[in-house]
A and B are shown apart, each in its own frame.
Chain A
Amino acid sequence: MDALEIARWQFGITTVYHFMMVPLTIGLGLVVAVIQTLWYRTGKVEYLRMTKFWGKLFLINFIMGVATGIVQEFQFGMAWSEYSRFVGDIFGAPLALEALLAFFVESTFLGLWIFGWKQLKRGVHLACLWIAVIGSVFSAYFIIVANSWMQHPVGVQMVNGRPVMTDAWAVFTNNTALVAVPHTLFGALGVAGAFLLGIAWYHLWRRRHDGIDTVGADGRAIAGETNIPGRDKADYKVWIRSLRIGAVVAMISFAGTAFTGDMQGKLMFEQQPMKMAAAEAACHDGTGFSVLSVGNVGSKNCNDIVAVIEVPGILSFLAKGDFTTEVKGVNGLLDVYKAKYGTNLPNDPLYGDRAGQQIQYVPVMEVTYWGFRMMIGFGGIAAFAALLALWVTRKGVVPQSRWIMRLAVFGILAPFGANAAGWIFTEMGRQPFVVAPNPDASGIDQVFMFTAAAVSPGVSAAELITSLVVLSSIYAVLLVVEVRLLVKYVRGGVASAMPELAEAGHGEKNEKKKDGDGGTPGAPGEPGTPDDVLAFAY
C-alpha cells in the first residue's frame, strides 16, 4: 500500500468508528431529553428512572464520540495537507463554527447536566440537557455542511487554482446538506430506537424469566415485585415504556430516512450520476432497479455483471420520480467524465507515483452496490422488527422465548450497520474525487480535486501506517471496553444508574416515592446540603 491508500484506510476506519458513537449520542440524547421532559411534566417516578438509566448509557457512549472526534479534526491537517490547503477557504469555516457554536455548547451544558442534578433547579437542569442536545444537532449540521461541500461544491469561484468562498449562504444552505442533515438525524434516531427496544426487551424478558412478571388470563401483563432494588413495579413501567418509545422512534426514523433518502437519491442522480450508476451496477442505460446482481469480484469491467433480480421502473422512480425515464449507466457516463475531466491524472509531482496514470472514474462497484443495499436493508429490517415488536407486546408482555430476546438485542446492531453502510457508500462512491465536481453549475464545474492529490506530500507511508496501526488498535481496545461497560450497566438495570434506590432500602424507598410530586430522594431542585457537591459522577 502506498501513502494514499493507507491514509484512505485510516480516514475510513476512524470516521466509521467515530460515526458508531455519534448517532447513538444524538439519537439517545434526544430521547433522554424527551423522557426527562416527561418526568418534569408528570413527576412520574418511572420517567426519572428512565432518565437516569438511559442517561448513564448515553454518557458512557458520549465520551467515546468526543475522544474520537478530535482525531477527525486533526487528520485533515496531518494526513491530508494538500486537501486542507485546497479547501481551507471553505471547508475550515464549518469546522471552526462547529467547535465555536455547537461543540462548546454541547460540552459545557452536558457538564452542567451531569453534575447539576442538585445544583440547578429542575427546569434549568432540564434546559441544560435540551441545550446540549440541540448543540449536538447543530454539530451534525455543521459537519454535514462541510461534507456536503465535498460532495457538491457550491458558493465558490476558482482564484489562482484554488476555490475561494464567494457566497457563504450557498455553502450553508447547500441542497445536498439540507437533505443529508435530516437523513442523518433520522438515522441517529433509528440507532436510539433499536437501542431502547433491544435493551428494554431484554429486561422485560428477564423479569418474566425470573418469575417477577406473570401473564393474566386475558393475556395481559401482571407486574410483580421483588425485594431487589430497582426491580419493583415501577421498574416494569420503565421497561415497557422504553420499549414502546424505542419502537415508535425506530419506525418514525425509518419513515424519515426513507423519505429523505429518496430526496437524497434524486439529488445524487443529478450531482454524482456515476456514484448512483455504480450503486446500481448499471452498465447500460435503463429503468430497472437491481435487487441482486452478480459479477466477477473486483472486476472493473462492468460488462460481466448480470442482474439476477431486477424490478423494472424502480430505478427511474428513484432517480427521476417516474417509471419510464432511462437512467444513464456507467458506460455512457464514462465518456462524459473523460471529456470533462480528462482521461489521465496530470503530470504533476502532487500526484506522486500516480502522476499521468489513467483515471479510474468508476468507484469500487462491490462497495457502492452492497453499501447501498445494506443501508436500505438494515434500515428496513430494523423498522419491520420494531413494528412487529409493538404488535407482539401490545398486551404488555414479551414472549418467553430466549431466541426472540436475543434477536431483539442483536437487532440493536441493524441501524448501526445501516448508518455505517450509508457513509461508506456515500464516501467511497465519490471516488476518484475528494471534492466531487458540481455538474449543475457551469462556473463551479471545474472546482474538484482528485483524492490522489490530497494526501500530505511531506508525510511518509511509514508515519501513516504507524498511526493507522496505533489508532486502529486503540479503537479496538476501547470498543471492547465501551461495550463491556454498556453491557454491565444494562444488566445492572435502573439501580446501577441510581444507587440511591438501593441505599434507601426497599420498604423505605416505597414510602419516599409517594411524597410530593413523585420525586425520589436525590431529585434535582431539592435543597442540597453542602455534602451534595458531588451528586452524580466520579
Chain B
Amino acid sequence: MELLPTVWFVAIAVLWTGYLFLEGFDLGVGMLMKLFARNNTERRVLLNTVGPVWDGNEVWLLTAAGATFAAFPLWYAALFSALYLPLLIVLVALIFRAVAFEYRGKVDNARWRTVWDWAIAVGSFTASFGIGAALALTTTGLPLDSNGDRQGGAFAWFSGYAVLGGLAVAAFALVHALAFLALKTDGDVRHRARRWFVRLAPVALLPLLAWAVAVQLLSGKPWTWLLVILAVVAAAVAWVLARQGAEGKAFGALGAFLVCATGSIFGAAFPVVIPSTLDPAFNLTVSNASSSAYTLGLMSIVAAVGLPLVIAYQAWTYWVFRRRVSAAHIPAAHGFLPAIAAKVLVGNESPGGTAANHARHNASE
C-alpha cells in the first residue's frame, strides 16, 4: 500500500539531486562571473560553458516542484506557502538570472553588461541559497499546524537550519562550478579553476556535510549514516583527484559526494516529508501527504518512460557541446549595426561611418 508513495518520495529525491547536480554548476558559474572571471572575455568563457544547457538544467527544478505538487500535494502546499517570502526572493533571483543570460550579449555596451553580470551573480547566489534553505527546512521542520499551515508569522521559518541549508547549496554550487570549469575550459581559466577548487573545496563542502549530519542526528538510520561516511570519502577523493589534475574524475567524485549527501538527507528524513516543529502529530509524511494510488500509478508510468528519455537527450546535449571552451575561442564582440538608424538619405552619418564605428567597437573589445 505504501509502495507508490515511497517510489515517489525516491523520485522526488532523485529530481532534487538531479537539479542540484546539474543546475548546481551553472548556479556556481553564475556566482563566479563576479568572483572569478577577471575580464569580459573570461566572463564570456564562463557563460559559454553553460550557455547551451542552463535552461534545460533549470527545468529539473520545475519538474521537482511539479512532481511534488502531483505526488504530494499537501507537502507542496505546506512547504511553498510556509516559505512564501524566501521563495518570492528565489523567484525574483531566477527571473533576473534567466533574463540576464539571454540579454547580456544583446547590447555591446560595458554598463549594460555589468548590470546583467551582477544580475547573474547575485541571482545565482540568491537562488541557490534560497533553494538550499527551503530544502533544509523541509528536512528539519517548520512550525506547521494540523492543517499544514505555517503558524507564527511571515518569518516563522527562519532558523539556523535555513542558513545552514542556504550556505550548503550555495557553497556546494560554487565548488561544483569550479570543478566543472576545470573540466570544461582550457588555458588560464582551467588551471585557475582547479587551483581554486583545491583551496576552497575543504571549506565549502562542510555546510552540506553539516546539514547531512544534522538530519542524521534528528532521524538518522544506520544506512544513512553510512552514506554520510561515503560522502566524506567521495569528497576526499574528489579533492585528491583534482590536485592530481584528473579533472573528469574529480568532477565525477564530487557528483558522488552530492548523491551520497542528499541520499543520506532524504533517506534519514523518510517517511516524514516535513516535520512539524509544533507537534510531531502534525508531521506530513509520505502516507498522509500523498495523492491517490491512481494518480501515483499514472505518474509512475509516465515518469518511467519520460525520465530516462530526458536523461538521454540531455546527455546528448553535453556530448554535442563537449569541447573545452577557452579565451582563444571567444570572438570579438559584434558591434551592433543599426541598419535603420543609419538614416541613409537624411542622416549625418554615412553608411561608411557606421562601419567605421563598428570596427572601432571591435578594436576596443
Where the two chains meet, the residues of A that have a C-beta atom closer than 8 Å to any C-beta of B are 59-60, 62-64, 66-71, 73-74, 76-79, 81-82, 84-85, 87-93, 95-101, 103-105, 107-112, 114-116, 119-120, 159, 164-166, 168, 203, 206, 210-212, 226-231, 456-460, 462-463, 466-467, 470-471, 474, 478, 481, 485, 488-489, 491-496, 499, 502-503, 530-531, 533-534, 537-538
Whether B340 pairs with A206 at a CB distance below 8 angstroms is: yes
Task: State which residues 27-49 of B face A: CB under 8 Å.
Answer: 44, 47-48
The reply to whether B59 and A107 form a contact with Cβ atoms under 8 Å apart is: yes
Across the interface, A100 reaches (CB within 8 A) one of B53, B74, B306, B337, namely B306
The reply on B202 being an interface residue by CB < 8 A is no
- Counted as pairs of residues, one from A and one from B, with CB atoms less than 8 Å apart, the total is 308
Binary flags per residue of B323-351, CB closer than 8 Å to A gives 1, else 0: 10100111100111111111111000001
Residues of B near A206 (CB, < 8 A) are: 340
Size of interface on B: residues with Cβ below 8 Å to A = 96
Given A112-B52, A457-B149, A530-B329, check contact A499 B337 (CB 8 Å): yes
Q: A78-B80, A100-B302 are in contact. Are A534 and B331 (CB under 8 A)?
A: yes
Chain B residues with a Cβ under 8 A of chain A: 44, 47-48, 51-56, 58-59, 61-63, 65-67, 69-74, 76-85, 87-88, 91-92, 94-96, 98-99, 101-107, 145, 147-151, 153-154, 291-292, 294-295, 298-299, 302-303, 306-307, 310, 313-314, 317, 320-321, 323, 325, 328-331, 334-345, 351-352, 354-355, 358
Give the 9 A-B residue pairs with the shortest CB-CB distance, closest first: A88-B73, A77-B80, A92-B70, A458-B149, A493-B339, A92-B69, A96-B66, A499-B334, A81-B77
A-B pairs with beta carbons under 8 Å apart, 29 shown: A63-B101, A64-B99, A76-B76, A77-B79, A87-B73, A88-B70, A97-B306, A99-B59, A99-B63, A99-B66, A100-B306, A108-B55, A159-B292, A164-B294, A458-B150, A466-B88, A471-B88, A474-B95, A474-B96, A478-B95, A488-B106, A488-B338, A502-B337, A531-B329, A533-B323, A533-B329, A537-B105, A538-B101, A538-B104
Q: Are A495 and B337 in contact (CB under 8 A)?
A: yes
Bound form: Cα–Cα A93–B99 in Å = 28
Our pick among A79, A90, A537 for the contact of B81 (Cβ within 8 Å) is A79
A88-B70, A228-B339 known; A93-B56 Cβ under 8 A: no
Residues of B within 8 A of A110 (CB): 55
**Which residues of the partner chain A approach B103 to less than 8 Å between Cβ atoms?**
60, 63, 481, 485
B152 CB to nearest chain A CB (Å): 9
Chain A residues with CB under 8 Å of B101's CB are 63, 538
Interface of B is mostly: helix
Chain A residues near B61 (CB-CB < 8 A): 70
CA distance A109 to B314 in the complex (A): 9
Task: Check A100 against B294 for contact (C-beta < 8 Å).
Answer: no
In whole Å, how far is A435's beta carbon from the nearest beta carbon of chain B?
14
Distance of A206 Cα from B92 Cα, bound (Å): 39
Shortest beta-carbon distance from B109 to chain A in Å = 11
A98-B66 in contact (CB<8A): yes
State A467–B98 Cα separation when bound (angstroms). Answer: 19
Contacts of B302 in A (CB 8 A): 97, 100-101
* B81-A81 in contact (CB<8A): yes
- Given A119-B321, A457-B149, A496-B339, also A78-B81 (CB < 8 A): yes
Q: A63-B103, A93-B298 are in contact. Are A107 and B77 (CB under 8 A)?
A: no
Contact flag A70-B102 (CB < 8 Å), given A81-B77, A108-B56, A459-B81? no
Q: Do A92 and B53 touch across chains, with their CB atoms under 8 A apart?
A: no
Known: A78-B88, A88-B69, A533-B48. A458 touches B82 (CB 8 A): yes
Which of chain B's residues have a CB closer than 8 A to the CB of A114? 51-52
